[in-house]
Amino acid sequence: MELMEGRGFLAYPFEFWHYSKGDAYSAYLQNTPAARYGPVDFDPEQGRCVPIDSPNEPLITHDEIQEKIRTLL
């Protein structure tokens, strides 16, 4: 934690492993005028990052989450 914060990263309060630097979240917390980059979705099959069209919408639906959980049980 101290190492990340010492390099300018900000801890995301809801996930102990999540740190931000240069994105919209850190820009908001630091009251800076703009973020360096916005939210993206990584497609591991194609090895590509694509901008998220609607960052206020979930990337995966509740039903899709429930289905993934069922497949693990």
pLDDT tens digits, one per residue of 25-67: 788 888 887 777 777 778 889 998 888 877 677 778 899 999 9
What pLDDT is attached to residue 29? 81
Cα dist. 65→16, 36, 72 in Å? 21, 30, 11
Which pTM does this prediction carry? 0.42
Q: Do 8 and 21 contact (CB within 8 A), yes or no?
A: yes
